A and B are shown apart, each in its own frame.
Chain A
Amino acid sequence: MTAATTAPTSIAAQAVHATKVYGSGDTAVRALDDLSAEFGTGQYSAIMGPSGSGKSTLMHCMAGLDTLTDGQVFIGGTDLSELSEKELTQLRREKVGFVFQAFNLVPTLDAQENITLPMDLGGSAYDDGWVDTVIDTVGLRDRLEHRPAELSGGQQQRVAVARAMASRPEIIFADEPTGNLDSKTGHEILDFMRSAVDDFGQTIVMVTHDPMAASYSDRVVFLADGRIVDEMLEPTAERVLDKMKQLGE
């Protein structure tokens, strides 16, 4: 974790005056409140904050899973608010990778099929060499023909990471990727993600509430009440924990 990785050369994803309001009138909840943030290319960012701080909402809106009430979100140079539903889907398929907390995989497909699913859906030819590299990186060579039900939780998450990387997306969003794993397996997954950034220059944005997980990132953004309240470069678990206590979680 050198200082060089914290100085992005370009911006992979960006939120500009992002506002998200759920409901209306008296019951309206302001999940994102005029929030602006940038996530650099080749950077491993973590988003933290107490429950209801808007961290998941921010991730969903940035990833094109949800739409903003006001403001803009950019992936690369693309303004998501200007995309049609179909274009958004295509963007998620080609430019974004996902790792969710659990049940990341389609149960009827085997590991290999799950990894190539986004590209198969796109119907385009893909880079076999790269897919092989990814599979070897996450160490799944001998599990390719297993279905998710035949894989352990950690193996399932490794397939999910492989899927996210396989299409060489501009950015990977990970939502509590280790939330359902024991700490040893969790570390393995975090190591993979770290090496994806270090070895292949992958951009990753990860939502987490685990200071340990956050310590793997280059930069932590702290949210509260839909706003960025603080930022930390080269985080360690202790420092993040202190900060979280300070924020009153």
Chain B
Amino acid sequence: MFRTTFKNLRARKRRLLTTALAVTIGVAFMAGTLVIADTISRTFDDLFADATEGIDAAVRGSQSIDVDFGPEARNPVPETLVAQIAELDGAAAVEGQVSGYAQFLDKDDEPVGNPGTGAPTLGFNWNEVPELNPFELTDGGPPSGAGEVVIDRGTARDGGFAVGDTIAVLTQAGRGDFTVTGIVTFGGQDRPAGATTALFETTTAQDLVGEPGTFQEIAVVAGEGVSEEDLVTQIQAIAPAGVEVLTGEQYTEDSQNQVQEGLSFFNTFLLVFAGIALFVGSFIIYNTFNILVAQRTGELGLLRALGASRRQVFGSVILEATIVGVIAGVIGLVLGIGLASLLKLAMAGLGIELPGGAPVVTVRTAITALATGMVITVLAALVPARRAGAVPPLVALRQRSVEDRALPRRRTIAGGVVTAIGLASLGYGLWGEPGNAIQFVGLGALVTFIGVALLAPVLASPFVKGVGGLIAKLRGTPAALAEKNALRNPRRTSATASALMIGVGLVGFITIFAASTKASIDKTIDDAFTGDLVVASGTFGFGGLPPEVADEIAALPEIDLVSGMRFGPARVDGEDTGVVAVNTDQMARLADIGISEGSADDFGVSSFGIHEDVAEEKGWELGTPVTIEFVDTGAQTFTVDVIYSENALAGPWFIDTAAFEANYAQQFDAQIYASLTEGASLAKARESVEEIVDPYPAAEVQDQEEYTEATAGQIDQLLGLVYLLLVFAVIIAVIGISNTLALSIYERTHELGLLRAVGMTRQQMRSSIRWESVMIALFGTILGLTVGLVFGWAVVSALADEGFSVFQAPVSQLVVIALLAALAGVIASLRPARRAAKLDMLEAIMTE
């Protein structure tokens, strides 16, 4: 008797652990996100605190435009202010700061670092004042002339550059060769956050990465006994308009806040997946506790017969859930710390080197992880615990029944109603033509998801009978037994499958959405772009190709039309955003943007082109004046001169290149579009263009097809990351299947022993459990894919106005997903199947 109790306890300890595992992954994900966020921001905080330590006052432009990508843009400060500040009593030292885009090329002429996918590639001026220079020279000396540069130690190490070597640098002035005079580190880091650093003598830096005659910022060191506030007051007294002055402390804080902001998107992204993982995990917990309660019905009935109150029985289950939750929280936290380190390594592999330093585990992270683990587990166990409390004492005296075929009507009705509401919302969004269709569709999708999960038990029987029956016909008795076992308890089967349904549903939805997006991009570009060649700068908004490149291409005899495309931050009608600039007269012939009102012919320096949706939303029409603010030139008035219908190339609005040149200090083309002269050979033209862009190794010449592919290809990158994260949700679901099977097998011990006795081989036993697992997995997958397909279609339809012109369900990919799910079923069955096959036959037969 003691032995069985002990054995039971040990078995339960393991069960407790596997149950906890379902929540653990979600908690680990969340803890990992928090840890890495804290680690990054702590390190950056320290770095900035070090770097700005010597600054007692900072002067910068007061006009700022905050855009979603990159750092905020500000107007520059006149160079002459430096000398004026230097004369102040309170200033001990003062120096102007220049920063901008500078890309190294290695000895094979390959770009070092890619700002499009990784850390920025930066250029600065070398600060003579030691207090203001955050860099430490580890070799050589400062740059002193136009042809000299100091480089970061990471680039020196990876590219094999030493002091005295020549290195090529791409800047707004084009490609230049420089002599390396020194090698630096920053805060002890070879290459903090993966950013490469080029340091030039100040005037050179202004030419290459800044703007002659100006600085982005001016940093000031206070004299002996002068407070930061006093210094600021003194500077403010002489500062011209358009300039603001910060104390060193404010400046440091401001820099740190900007990093936090930059990280917040990344954190939210990861936390969403942590949320999905926890949601899926809660299904598993719910299911596991339901099974545990069902298995212990006799024991619970006995407890009730012996005088335990409902409350006490309920409490005992909740207590168990709490213990599981705490275990999950603790393990999740520990795993999360490991995950953070792993994530850091993974990002380093992608070229985003995060600064070193031990993982930062704050009290907040620890408490959040523990609380989440516990709350999710206890919430998921509430219904099973109530069911436990409701076990009547008489049950102890009856023989327990494993089979639970009855489906609660209430749940079926609730599921039907919820699904109907979800579908109604979906339908209204699609066909009711409300203003915010996508919101109705999104909400409808979510509600339908829950409804289908509620209805799943009703669907489980027909599905298993259909698909399982087919498998059973083909695969014989073990598969037939598997089918019957999967049907034994439809609620259990469907709850297990629902966890997988969520993951697969999301994967299916994303797959369809991405395929449709790509197909739509293909179609729009095909329809809109009538040119022949595109030069992509490959720098994604950080610098690009200097305007001369477009000029040289335009001068080629094979080339007819040419337009560069530039991007810049701007405040349009009070909203911080960006503008696109093109050579309007040429672009209008290179691409069919569907001009519906106005004409591109006399598009001038203050002309503004808008998409018809913008026109409708803002109530603008031809001739409407629109205020656009730029950091360099302040508020300017533009006039709506063109309204167009195709936004694939031009986006919501554009200005002319001439206007861009008038309002921005830095001029880079992110893309150059060109068309051939009548009768010119594409191959020859391409060769000539390639020769021109040869000095810019990041740039790529594409024909129309390649351009389409490259544009659509960006989707794949994002898709890869989303898949990777959804895999976790699927892993949790697989653990859930494995867990449920293990518990079911435990229930069926006697039966399994009997089967072995009458002649079932171990292999047949394993195969039977494998098929059961596969049937559950397929059920979840088919449900998920169906739901995903419907949502994908609904969302794409709802977004038809936003340019989603094509709905595409990639059949082969969806089939692969289904096959992978079946494989997941096989994997989930491995452990339970092995355990069942290893069962001690005699002991099993003796078990009742």
A contact set with B: CB distance below 8 Å: 60, 65-66, 85-86, 89-90, 92-94, 98, 100, 102-109, 117-118, 120-123, 149, 163
Given contacts A98-B757, A108-B484, A117 and B477 within 8 Å (CB-CB): yes
Q: How many B residues face the partner with a CB closer than 8 A?
A: 29
Contact across chains for B485 and A92 when beta carbons are under 8 A apart:
no
Report the minimal beta-carbon distance from A20 to chain B, rounded to whole angstroms: 12
Contact of B758 among A102, A103, A107, A117 (CB under 8 A): A117
Given contacts A65-B841, A103-B848, A107-B751, A120 and B758 within 8 Å (CB-CB): no
In the assembled complex, B750 has its CB within 8 A of some CB on chain A = yes
- The answer for the CA separation of A37 and B485 in the assembled complex, in Å, is 41
In the assembled complex, B491 has its CB within 8 A of some CB on chain A = no
Q: Give chain B residues whose Cβ lies under 8 Å from the Cβ of A92.
A: 757-759
- Seed contacts A65-B757, A120-B477, A163-B758; 18 additional CB < 8 Å A-B pairs: A86-B762, A86-B763, A89-B760, A90-B761, A93-B760, A100-B754, A103-B751, A103-B754, A104-B754, A105-B754, A107-B402, A108-B487, A109-B481, A109-B484, A117-B758, A118-B759, A121-B478, A121-B759
Q: Give chain A residues whose Cβ lies under 8 Å from the Cβ of B751.
A: 103, 106-107
Contact across chains for B759 and A122 when beta carbons are under 8 A apart:
yes
In the assembled complex, B403 has its CB within 8 A of some CB on chain A = yes
Contact across chains for A149 and B477 when beta carbons are under 8 A apart:
no
Q: Give chain A residues whose Cβ lies under 8 Å from the Cβ of B484.
A: 108-109
In the assembled complex, B263 has its CB within 8 A of some CB on chain A = no
14 contacts between A and B (CB under 8 A): A60-B842, A65-B845, A86-B761, A89-B760, A90-B759, A90-B761, A98-B758, A102-B848, A103-B754, A106-B755, A107-B751, A120-B480, A121-B477, A121-B478
Contact of A107 among B403, B476, B757, B759 (CB under 8 A): B403
- The answer for the CA separation of A163 and B750 in the assembled complex, in Å, is 18
In the assembled complex, B191 has its CB within 8 A of some CB on chain A = no
Q: 10 smallest A-B Cβ distances: which pairs?
A: A93-B759, A108-B484, A120-B477, A118-B759, A89-B761, A118-B758, A121-B759, A92-B759, A121-B760, A121-B477
Q: Which of chain B's residues 808-848 have a Cβ closer than 8 Å to chain A?
A: 841-842, 845, 848
Given contacts A60-B842, A120-B477, A149 and B754 within 8 Å (CB-CB): no
Contact across chains for A89 and B759 when beta carbons are under 8 A apart:
yes
Report the minimal beta-carbon distance from A131 to chain B, rounded to whole angstroms: 15
Q: Give chain A residues whose Cβ lies under 8 Å from the Cβ of B764.
A: 121
Contact of A89 among B402, B477, B480, B762 (CB under 8 A): B762
- The answer for the CA separation of A122 and B476 in the assembled complex, in Å, is 10
Contact across chains for A121 and B758 when beta carbons are under 8 A apart:
yes
- The answer for the CA separation of A92 and B751 in the assembled complex, in Å, is 16
Q: Give chain A residues whose Cβ lies under 8 Å from the Cβ of B488.
A: 108
Q: Which of chain B's residues 744-782 have a Cβ closer than 8 Å to chain A?
A: 750-751, 754-764
Q: Give chain A residues whose Cβ lies under 8 Å from the Cβ of B477.
A: 117, 120-121, 123
Q: Give chain B residues whose Cβ lies under 8 Å from the Cβ of A108.
A: 481, 484-485, 487-488
- The answer for the CA separation of A149 and B403 in the assembled complex, in Å, is 10
Q: Give chain B residues whose Cβ lies under 8 Å from the Cβ of A85.
A: 762
Report the minimal beta-carbon distance from B572 to chain A, rounded to whole angstroms: 68
Q: Give chain B residues whose Cβ lies under 8 Å from the Cβ of A103.
A: 750-751, 754, 848
Q: Give chain A residues whose Cβ lies under 8 Å from the Cβ of B763.
A: 86
Residue of A nearest to B478 (CB): A121
- The answer for the CA separation of A102 and B480 in the assembled complex, in Å, is 24
Contact across chains for B759 and A66 when beta carbons are under 8 A apart:
no
- The answer for the CA separation of A109 and B755 in the assembled complex, in Å, is 12
Report the minimal beta-carbon distance from A120 to chain B, rounded to whole angstroms: 4
Q: Give chain A residues whose Cβ lies under 8 Å from the Cβ of B750.
A: 103
- The answer for the CA separation of A120 and B760 in the assembled complex, in Å, is 10
Report the minimal beta-carbon distance from A173 to chain B, rounded to whole angstroms: 10
Q: Give chain A residues whose Cβ lies under 8 Å from the Cβ of B758.
A: 92-93, 98, 117-118, 121, 163
Q: Give chain B residues whose Cβ lies under 8 Å from the Cβ of A149.
A: 401, 403
- The answer for the CA separation of A129 and B713 in the assembled complex, in Å, is 68
Given contacts A89-B761, A117-B758, A123 and B476 within 8 Å (CB-CB): yes
- The answer for the CA separation of A109 and B487 in the assembled complex, in Å, is 12
Contact across chains for A94 and B759 when beta carbons are under 8 A apart:
yes
Q: Which of chain B's residues 466-497 have a Cβ closer than 8 Å to chain A?
A: 476-478, 480-481, 484-485, 487-488
Q: Give chain B residues whose Cβ lies under 8 Å from the Cβ of A107.
A: 402-403, 751
Report the minimal beta-carbon distance from B216 to chain A, rounded to whole angstroms: 76
Residue of A nearest to B847 (CB): A103
Residue of B nearest to A113 (CB): B480
Given contacts A104-B754, A108-B488, A120-B477, A65 and B842 within 8 Å (CB-CB): yes
Q: Give chain A residues whose Cβ lies under 8 Å from the Cβ of B403.
A: 107, 149
Report the minimal beta-carbon distance from B846 to chain A, rounded to whole angstroms: 10
- The answer for the CA separation of A163 and B755 in the assembled complex, in Å, is 12
Contact across chains for A106 and B754 when beta carbons are under 8 A apart:
yes
Q: Give chain A residues whose Cβ lies under 8 Å from the Cβ of B402.
A: 107
- The answer for the CA separation of A14 and B764 in the assembled complex, in Å, is 29
- The answer for the CA separation of A198 and B192 in the assembled complex, in Å, is 93
- The answer for the CA separation of A108 and B403 in the assembled complex, in Å, is 9
- The answer for the CA separation of A90 and B758 in the assembled complex, in Å, is 9
Report the minimal beta-carbon distance from B118 to chain A, rounded to whole angstroms: 57
- The answer for the CA separation of A226 and B228 in the assembled complex, in Å, is 99
A86, A107, A123 pick with most chain B CB within 10 angstroms: A107
Contact across chains for A89 and B845 when beta carbons are under 8 A apart:
no
- The answer for the CA separation of A234 and B92 in the assembled complex, in Å, is 123
Q: Give chain A residues whose Cβ lies under 8 Å from the Cβ of B762.
A: 85-86, 89
A65, A66, A89, A102 pick with most chain B CB within 10 angstroms: A89
- The answer for the CA separation of A92 and B480 in the assembled complex, in Å, is 21
Q: Give chain A residues whose Cβ lies under 8 Å from the Cβ of B476.
A: 120, 123
Residue of B nearest to A104 (CB): B754
Residue of B nearest to A120 (CB): B477
Report the minimal beta-carbon distance from A172 to chain B, rounded to whole angstroms: 12
Q: Give chain A residues whose Cβ lies under 8 Å from the Cβ of B845.
A: 65, 100
Q: Give chain A residues whose Cβ lies under 8 Å from the Cβ of B754.
A: 100, 103-106
Q: Give chain B residues whose Cβ lies under 8 Å from the Cβ of A90.
A: 759, 761
Report the minimal beta-carbon distance from B2 to chain A, rounded to whole angstroms: 15
Q: Give chain B residues whose Cβ lies under 8 Å from the Cβ of A120.
A: 476-477, 480
Q: Which of chain B's residues 721-757 have a Cβ closer than 8 Å to chain A?
A: 750-751, 754-757
Q: Give chain A residues whose Cβ lies under 8 Å from the Cβ of B760.
A: 89, 93, 121
Q: Give chain B residues whose Cβ lies under 8 Å from the Cβ of A104.
A: 754
- The answer for the CA separation of A108 and B481 in the assembled complex, in Å, is 8
Report the minimal beta-carbon distance from A61 to chain B, rounded to whole angstroms: 10
- The answer for the CA separation of A106 and B751 in the assembled complex, in Å, is 6
- The answer for the CA separation of A100 and B841 in the assembled complex, in Å, is 13
Residue of B nearest to A163 (CB): B758
B488, B751, B848 pick with most chain A CB within 10 angstroms: B751
Q: Give chain B residues whose Cβ lies under 8 Å from the Cβ of A93.
A: 758-760
Report the minimal beta-carbon distance from B458 to chain A, rounded to whole angstroms: 20
- The answer for the CA separation of A75 and B481 in the assembled complex, in Å, is 29
- The answer for the CA separation of A163 and B758 in the assembled complex, in Å, is 9
Q: Give chain A residues whose Cβ lies under 8 Å from the Cβ of B841.
A: 65
- The answer for the CA separation of A105 and B754 in the assembled complex, in Å, is 8
Report the minimal beta-carbon distance from A122 to chain B, rounded to whole angstroms: 7
- The answer for the CA separation of A232 and B764 in the assembled complex, in Å, is 42
Residue of A nearest to B476 (CB): A123
Q: Give chain A residues whose Cβ lies under 8 Å from the Cβ of B481.
A: 106, 108-109
- The answer for the CA separation of A117 and B755 in the assembled complex, in Å, is 9
Report the minimal beta-carbon distance from B508 to chain A, rounded to whole angstroms: 32
Q: Give chain A residues whose Cβ lies under 8 Å from the Cβ of B487.
A: 108
